[in-house]
Amino acid sequence: MELRNLGDTGIRLSPLGLGTVKIGRDQQVKYPSGFRIPDDAAVRDLLALASELGLNLVDTAPAYGNSEERLGRLLPDRNDWVIVTKVGEIFENGQSRFDFSPRHTRMSVQRSLQRLGRDWVDIVLVHSDGNDMHIIEHEGVLDTLAELKEEGLLRAYGMSTKTTEGGLWVVENTDVVMATCNPVDTYDKPVIQRAHELNKGVLVKKGLQSGHADKSAGGGGIEAAMEYVFRHAGISAMITGTINPQHLRENVAIVERLLGQ
């Protein structure tokens, strides 16, 4: 796959990224059908296939169970990958809780580096609890990420937002936003447009509606959903979470066809 710019960060990434919640967590997820967390051999094979197909972008988070630790052990040539991780959300005992304090933010990034086996991470996003503007205006998480960037522990930072207002602020003031974009949830259109105007990075989440875009789940189809995402100028990459090798091959083929690659 031909690599794209992540805004003006200098980071080059594949237009399709692999989401990894399913390799680390199977509780409190919103997919249309159940799944079993794959064993190490299956994860290693999936990651090798992703690399073979041209992906260099992988998305994880402390809230994704043991996803970070597994990537640290199983990701081939991990320094060649663009790794996205997050801060703020903690998933324990089947429930999420949130901590956006400077102390926890710094600890979380350092812990992620240890788990991933890296001296720095490419992108760190705030895992919003839905109260974007409260986090932005009253918590110290974004200032701390800016400090960690200055210290060389991360290359770019921003937020996985849940409101249009929060998304617009993040585009104006940070490096990258993770925005929602699919034919059903269109509230982040102004965010994506503004990011394009300012040459800021945009990573798309929920492009396939957590699997509900699939026709078998009553949606309009995977290709239609992807076509909708990539018709928006300014989108750097779309994250799709799958543990099915055939689905990964099909997703890559669709993206390459849509982008004329």
Q: Nearest Cα to 235, choosing from 202, 212, 205?
A: 202
Counting beta carbons within 10 angstroms of the beta carbon of residue 224, is it exposed (0 to 12), middle (13 to 18) or buried (19 or more)? middle
Identify the sign of the CA torsion 101, 106, 109, 111.
negative
- Is residue 64 part of the annotated active site? The answer reads yes
Residues in the chain: 261
Q: CB burial class (10 A; 0-12, 13-18, 19+) of residue 85? A: buried
Contact criterion met (CB below 8 Å) for 71 and 79 = no
Beta-carbon contacts of 134 under 8 Å, excluding residues fewer than 6 positions away, are none
Q: What are the DSSP calls for 170-198, one per residue?
A: HHHHSSEEEEE-SSS--TTHHHHHHHHHH
Closest CA to 121 of 76, 85, 157, 154: 154
Of 31, 64, 157, 228, the active-site residue reads 64
Q: So which residues are the catalytic ones?
A: 64
